[in-house]
Chain A
Amino acid sequence: MEWYKDYPHIGYDLEVSLLVFITFSVRSQDIRNTVGNIPMEWYKDYPHIGYDLEGKKIFKPIRNKDELDEFLDKMENPDYWRTVQDKMTGADIRLSDEQVDLVHRLQQGKFGDVNFNEYEPAIDFFSNEVMIHPVTNRPQDKRSFIPSLIEKEKVGKLVHAIKMGWIKPRRPKETTPQYYDLWAKEDPNSILGRHKMHVPAPKMKLPGHEESYNPPPEYLLSEEERLAWEQQDPEYRKLSFLPQKFACLRAVPAYSRFIHERFERCLDLYLCPRQRKMRVNVNPEDLIPKLPKPKDLQPFPTTQSLVYRGHSSLVRSISVSPSGQWLVSGSDDCTVRFWEVSTARCLKTVEVGGAVKGVAWNPNPSICLVAVSYDDTVVLLNPGLGDRLVCTATDQLISSYEEPEEVMDQSVQWAVAEGEGHEQGHRLILKHPKTVRQVTWHGKGDYLACVMPDNGSSLQVVIHQVSKRRTQNPFRKNKGLVQCVSFHPIRPYFFVATQRYVRVYNLIKQELTKKLMANCKWISSMAIHPGGDNVICGSYDCRLAWFDLDLSTKPYKVLRHHKKALRSVAYHRHYPLFASGSDDGSVIVCHGMVYNDLLQNPLIVPVKVLKGHTITHDLGVLDVTFHPTQPWVFSSGADGTVRLFT
């Protein structure tokens, strides 16, 4: 520290100025604070600030200046700027001119001493020049001229590592410069990315033989071809020039259309639509709705098993007995035949007076009656098949009828068959005013509905009650031409299908409940699901419409599987199956599952096309009906046969 003995200061601190002040204060007043180098705020709550050499308290000078006094002091005292407070004693000290100058010098980064020359010439003692009197004259170390053992050891280790392959010397340098790909992560579909899309220009066709100055003769156009070429529109010409033959290349003139063609190509490239067609690759199979495989929906009829031959004309209508043992068929050859289902044996043939339009077996197993309609007559037949007791009970039921006292005036005449007809099985004969097209039974087997299509007439549908031999006309007037009718299997509803609509009537309240719009031109047939909430309609314009009565009055689904007009539709009583017969000679069996859950829509899957009937007079299948217990379907055709598919 004696280096500093000539200086007023004894070194430098971060707070250079403060140290200087301390030494100043020490010199001038010799008030020594003996607390040492401690943070002075320890004393901030005491009246004193430390202790002097004698051990007496150094009291803090009284400071009662407030902000205003400070401000006034600042404004009025010309030495305010050079007055600092001694932290050790708390006294105010006014800096002298010298001290201020020193502070300025130090602030500027200069030496404190004014006389100090920092640029004195330096003497280089340890230079490369060998002096005759060196600074040190020690002899050279041995290690300075023999190879280092430590280095040898280190090199040996490196060599060993290289030999062992732990270190690979001379790794091949990356010759290709590495650049950062600025656009690597950019989306090519973004607006900027689209500009980068490169559409290569179409390549020009290479010149062929016809462009040659000396083409082979077959490339030269004959006179006719040349004429044809000239008459052709320039756009449709195969070649845009005429191949010509020259004796030598020198004789070839300049191509007159060169610039024109260049220009056209440039124009083409310029006007080329720089747009890529974004084609979506959709697997066509994904667009088809997922339906279960027909294999999983078994059982359903798949093959033709039996053919019931015997009729000589088209078989218009068939019906199966409730037990499933017998089948009845009515044909245009004026006969009704009864068949044994399991063997295709015709057990009985009943002749009637006209072409049979409809047959219907009574669905009540305790009554053995078949309703047959021909011309304007409906005959109730007792075939005498099945249980003898049931047959005799049916006969007794019919003969036990007693004429009521007051005779009602009915539009339909009831008569009891007698004589030869009775022996054949005829029991009751109902004479209608018009031709009867369809007969259908109510599920209980007492009511029988008949359809007499006649446009604009009020008498198109009649309902008979067999036990009381009564006939009623349920409708005061009919809109449209009635095609077919059906009873609801459970509830007292009655379905009437006209050409375009199906109307559902409540028979008890005697009102129209629903009107189903079939969206087709001409309804041909109708079937009611055994649950009663679904209806299918076949139409002459090749459509089959499925109605869900809970869902809507519009078809839930329309199936267009047939190629020609549908003639008949039918539901199975137990299995989730329905079938449709068409003029194209095929029967299509569909799986139609109806769920009890109201939220789940019916599942409709076509499962099988059954072919077998030959098309006669443009008519194929005329009627289809299901076996009551087995998944078998019967179909009758214009070829005079009834076929069983199992």
Chain B
Amino acid sequence: MSQVQARFFTENKKYLIDDVPFSIPAASEVADLSGVINKLLEAKNDGHKHVEFDFLVRGQFLRTSLASHMEKENISTEEVVEIEYVEKFTAPQPEECIMHDDWISSVEADSEWILTGSYDKTARIWSMEGKAVMTVAGHTDVVKDVAWVKRSENLQTGSLVVNDASLLLTASLDQTIMLWEWNSERNKVEARHCCRGHAGSVDTVAVDPTRTKVCVLPTVEEDEIEEPNRPRKKQKTEQMGLTRTPLMTFSGHNEAVSSVLWMDAEELCSASWDHTIRLWDAETGEQKSTLTGSKVFNSISYSPLCRRLASGSTDRHVRLWDPRSKDGSLVLLSLTSHNGWVTAVRWSPSHEHQLVSGSLDNVVKLWDTRSCKAPLYDLAAHEDKILCVDWTENGLILSGGADNKLYTYRYSTCVSDAGA
């Protein structure tokens, strides 16, 4: 087998070539194929500049020579092979390195501000350029998770109407969650509520898509949901504002709950150290289904684009799950390249195939589910354990860890490919 019949196609109108089958050497690799496409494009229009391409054969990225790839994937060499080519993803560009005073336990960013929680018992707000804007201090113990609730818009609470204020949540080891109101113009932060009710440290919080409810998780055997905008009970405490009690408690996990998220407005999902991922109905509080793994789950993430759950566990693998499957324990794909516990996973908000994972082996990996054998890029900037990663809508990857540094990377997926 020395020559293979191949037909190239692409979704990108910019790089269209004639739809004719070519005979190409079977030993050719990505660089060779990229050269072929560039030659064809040059022949077609003179003003073409050299572009690196990546190739997909039946939905899988080509990483070895074409012959070995086809052999591995069991593709017949007799027929014409359909090869899709996309513009090669450029490597994420490191942007900022933000120094903290202590370990970074969590990070959440949006288009304007970065919110980080740290082991020095504070949460901080940073600008995109890495300038410390605000320090949110008030917890008596380590801040384990942070979340934006509302960003700088009019707040339609029943009684309060506050202009130009952001709401943010911090969860801490001192068993409380605090809701803060931050006025970015005046740069003042004010504690609005303190949510109590957990019998252990609060390790994770999640805000539902409509931004009205919060799901918070303790490390004891229950998860609880709180609704910050319609408090059931208002109570003045010394300096903490109002104290809240949980709206609903989801009991079922046998061990610490490590991660929680909202799948949509009615459904939420929690991962636990008892080797299960459970899906709950937010209205009734009933458990809808259970996905059972074999190792402790550290982190989960859900992508509404591809409707898959990604989980990071203590056995070095990132696993993809189908949450709709009823029988429970179906792993669709496992991505194996890390050498330590996978502590954080996050799907790309704009690309259905890409996700990012952070691990105790100090490496952040960028994955494409179409190439499950090896990650697209390794981001090895950290010098110690990575504890959190995030990916914003505008293409910024953030990772923080035990070396007190928050790294940001600019990663632009090709515009043409983003919707593919």
Give the B-binding residues of A (Cβ under 8 A).
299, 305-306, 323-325, 342-345, 347, 386-389, 629-630, 646
Contact = CB atoms under 8 A, between A and B. Distances in A.
B180 interface: no
B387 interface: yes
B87 interface: no
B341 A325 contact: no
Given A343-B385, A630-B273, A306 B360 contact: yes
Given A325-B201, A344-B385, A388 B255 contact: no
Given A305-B314, A325-B200, A388-B174, 16 more contacts: A299-B294, A305-B340, A306-B360, A323-B200, A323-B219, A324-B256, A324-B273, A325-B219, A342-B258, A342-B298, A343-B387, A344-B385, A345-B142, A387-B199, A387-B200, A389-B199
B177 interface: no
A343 B273 contact: no
A324 B199 contact: no
B122 interface: no
B175 interface: yes
B114 interface: no
B273 A629 contact: yes
27 contacts: A299-B295, A305-B314, A305-B340, A305-B341, A305-B360, A306-B341, A306-B360, A323-B200, A323-B219, A323-B256, A324-B256, A325-B200, A325-B201, A342-B258, A343-B387, A343-B402, A344-B385, A344-B402, A345-B103, A347-B142, A386-B200, A386-B201, A387-B220, A389-B199, A629-B274, A646-B315, A646-B341
B195 to A, nearest CB: 14
A344 B298 CA distance: 14
A182 B258 CA distance: 86
Nearest to A344: B385
Indicate the member of A305, A343, A387 with the most B CB atoms within 10 Å.
Answer: A343
Contacts of B175: 387-388
Contacts of B314: 305, 646
B296 interface: yes
Contacts of A325: 200-201, 219, 256
B300 to A, nearest CB: 15
Contact of A324 (B255, B294, B402): B255
B182 interface: no
Given A323-B200, A389-B199, A629 B142 contact: no
Interface string B311-326: 0001100000000000
Contacts of B220: 323, 387
B119 interface: yes
A323 B274 CA distance: 12
Contacts of A630: 273, 296
Contacts, number: 49
Interface string B174-203: 110000000000000000000000011100
A629 B174 contact: no
Contacts of B201: 325, 386
Size band of the interface chain B makes with A: 20 to 34
Contacts of A389: 199
Interface in B272-304: 273-274, 294-296, 298
Top 6 A-B pairs, shortest CB-CB distance: A387-B199, A646-B314, A305-B341, A387-B200, A629-B255, A325-B219
A389 B340 CA distance: 35
Contacts of B219: 323, 325
Indicate the member of A305, A324, A344, A347 with the most B CB atoms within 10 Å.
Answer: A305
A388 B196 CA distance: 11
B235 to A, nearest CB: 17
A345 B402 CA distance: 9
A386 B219 CA distance: 9
A629 B119 CA distance: 26
Contacts of B295: 299
A43 B402 CA distance: 135
Contacts of B298: 342
Contacts of A386: 200-201
Interface in B255-269: 255-256, 258
Contacts of B340: 305
Contact of B119 (A305, A324, A342, A345): A345
Nearest to A347: B142
A347 B174 CA distance: 13
B383 to A, nearest CB: 14
A325 B340 CA distance: 19
B343 to A, nearest CB: 8
B330 to A, nearest CB: 20
Contacts of B258: 342
Interface in B213-265: 219-220, 255-256, 258
Contacts of A347: 142
B258 to A, nearest CB: 8
Indicate the member of B103, B274, B341, B387 with the most A CB atoms within 10 Å.
Answer: B341
A385 to B, nearest CB: 8
A627 to B, nearest CB: 10
A412 to B, nearest CB: 34
A301 to B, nearest CB: 11
Nearest to B105: A343
Contacts of B142: 345, 347
A380 B340 CA distance: 36
Contacts of B360: 305-306
Contacts of A323: 200, 219-220, 256
Contacts of B387: 343
Contacts of B296: 630
A539 B362 CA distance: 39
A342 B343 CA distance: 9
A297 B84 CA distance: 45
A187 to B, nearest CB: 59
Contacts of A388: 174-175
Contacts of A305: 314, 340-341, 360
Indicate the member of A299, A323, A342 with the most B CB atoms within 10 Å.
Answer: A342
